[in-house]
Amino acid sequence: MFDPRTAPALLEALPDTVVVADRDGRIAYVNPAVHTLLGHRPEELIGESLTVLMPERLRRGHGTGFARYAATGRGELVGATTQLPALHVAGHEVPVDLTISRLAAEGAAVDGALVVAVLRDASTTILLERQFQVSRYLAAIQRVTAALTEAPDADAAFQQLLPTLCNELDWDAATIWRPHEVTGRLTCADIWAAPGGEVPNLRARARGLSLGRGEGLPGVTWQERRPVVFEDLWSEPRFLRRDGAHADGVRTGVAFPVLYGDTLLGVCELFSRQARPVPDDLLDVLATAGRQIGQFLSRLRAESQIRSLAETLQRSLLPPSLPAIPGVGIAARYRAGGRGLLVGGDTYDVLPLPGGSWMVLMADVCGKGAEAAATAALARHTARAAATADSGPADVLRAVNAALIREAGPGPLRFVTACCLVLRPHSSGASARLTVAGHPRPVLRSSTGECTEVGEVGRPLGMAVDSDFGEVAVELSAGSTLVLYTDGVTEARDDSGVQFEESGLVRLLESGPPRSAEETVEAVQAAVDRHRQDSRHERDDLAVLALRC
């Protein structure tokens, strides 16, 4: 039998939970990490069945499976890592990565075989994966909305919506239903399928079909005014085209309403040939997309209102409002640049962290337009997912760097410059750790009015997997101001091409009496506007954020 007194000291110190079970499926040893992971004291588990660590629904087949393993030495979970829920002593479930191995040597009697299981907390991994997936959904919807701007009118935009949605979100076919001008009932306006994957039977069944509230997938979506999923179209009685879906090999459908305020402009259906679960995160994004697309399609009829939609989309890349940081004044300004662009690529964020710290992010995507905005959304949401109580700014930017490289597609390189700050206010100011990745260094104005650039500039994000990012300590004493900005400030050019430059920013910050955070960002924007007055050169995106102690 396993003797816990012979367990190496290494097992006692491991952060992962290690459980050893005897041939009867009872716990012979468990290391102290189980208390952190599942709340049990190790000594209380000795002799207990392994089922004490399992949710009720997983216990049913455990005895048979373990007995089969004891008899044969073979099991479905042995030798692999599987993500499963474990049961905390308080009654809630904890997701874990479970790895099971044989403890007995080859050739040993099966009756004497033991198993060792290693449990690792998977909560952080699941959260990051979910945030990465949400970022991908958001980036896809940004590209969908941006693609619609090329349509000359609302009808053309509806037709372009279907292939763009399918390509961006990886669905096989789509239909759009719109209210009839006279009856108000939904009729099929268009249907699209991926090349080589035509859906003639679905197309034929939709032709001439008229649906009211609650009728069919489009009608149910209209009635509930939210995305609706039919996971198995072949057996779903509410789906009125079951025979067509079966004939075309289409298995799962999801629909979302396209709304402008309380007005239904249409219902969009997406179809998959494979039975696939539809996560709640995608439904939330589709609900938001339906409102954004509806807003755009309505405004497309009045060209003078297109810019207001651009501003709405741009605000989705920025915090709707800045939080109040105790003892620190904070203000920001953003303005998209260029001519005829829907959205820009600059973004900033301020996020409270556990323990009283704050993450401050300023980022600038190489390029302009929809792709830059999608990359900015990915960078911002990844930074939010990576920021935890123990994360430093270098950790946050490493996560963003990895996400950008993982999501990089064909075409020109989309690198990002960024400045990340983890700020901790205290009674006489604030202490900060700062990481700069290819971005303009922040400017610190002391309480006496002297300005210095702070931080060490590392490689931009999204260029190399092995990029390293350092941290610099920055102290903000009472009366000091730290200014973060993008190159839209310093590279603003007057009519002759002369840039505003870092020296112009420093001169501005050193001049005049001390300013509040709000007065600082107003002064910076006003100075750039004066420098660019009557300039023939295109304006870049501009973002500036000030922290005043």
Tokens describing residue 244: 């067509």
Proportion of the chain above pLDDT 70, given as a percent: 81
| Class of the CATH domain delimited by 4-121 | alpha beta
Q: Where are the domains of the chain?
A: 4-121, 127-301, 318-548
Residues 108-135 as b/e (b if ≥16 CB within 10 A, e otherwise) read eeeeebbbbbbbbbbeeeeebeebbebb
Does pLDDT of 110 surpass 50?
no
Proportion of the chain above pLDDT 90, given as a percent: 44
**Residue 219 CB coordination number (10 Å):** 22
The whole-number average pLDDT for the span 336-350 is: 71
pLDDT the model gives residue 526: 93
The whole-number average pLDDT for the span 93-119 is: 68
pLDDT the model gives residue 522: 95
- The answer to whether domain 127-301 has CATH 3.30.450.40 is yes
CA distance 57 to 377: 39
Does pLDDT of 72 surpass 80?
no
Does pLDDT of 328 surpass 90?
yes
Q: Which residue has the higher pLDDT, 152 or 359?
A: 359
Asked whether this chain's domains 4-121 and 127-301 adopt the same fold, the reply is yes
Does pLDDT of 112 surpass 50?
no
Mean pLDDT of all residues in the chain?
Answer: 84
The DSSP call for residue 51 is G
CA distance 517 to 398: 29
Tens of pLDDT along 501-527?
999 999 999 998 889 999 999 999 999
pLDDT the model gives residue 391: 85
Among 25-34, 127-136, 285-294, the range scoring the smallest mean pLDDT is: 127-136
Does pLDDT of 316 surpass 70?
no
Which H or E element spans position 95?
strand 93-102
Does pLDDT of 99 surpass 80?
yes
Does pLDDT of 4 surpass 60?
no
Check if the beta carbon of residue 517 is closer than 8 Å to that of residue 547: yes
Does pLDDT of 420 surpass 70?
yes
Among 191-195, 271-275, 327-331, the range scoring the smallest mean pLDDT is: 191-195
CA distance 271 to 297: 23
Phi/psi for 537 (5° steps) reads: -85, 145
Quickly name the fold that domain 318-548 has.
Answer: Phosphatase 2c; domain 1 (3.60.40)
Does pLDDT of 281 surpass 70?
yes
pLDDT band at 314 (very low <50, low <70, confident <90, very high): low
The whole-number average pLDDT for the span 352-356 is: 90
pLDDT the model gives residue 63: 63
Q: pTM for the whole thing?
A: 0.49
CA distance 505 to 489: 8
Check if the beta carbon of residue 158 is closer than 8 Å to that of residue 169: no
343: alpha, beta or left? (left if phi > 0; alpha if psi -120 to 50): beta
Check if the beta carbon of residue 201 is closer than 8 Å to that of residue 247: yes
Does pLDDT of 288 surpass 80?
yes
Among 202-206, 248-252, 269-273, 315-319, the range scoring the smallest mean pLDDT is: 315-319
pLDDT the model gives residue 476: 95
Rounded (5°) CA angle 272-277-280? 115
Does pLDDT of 410 surpass 50?
yes
Strand partners, 84: 96
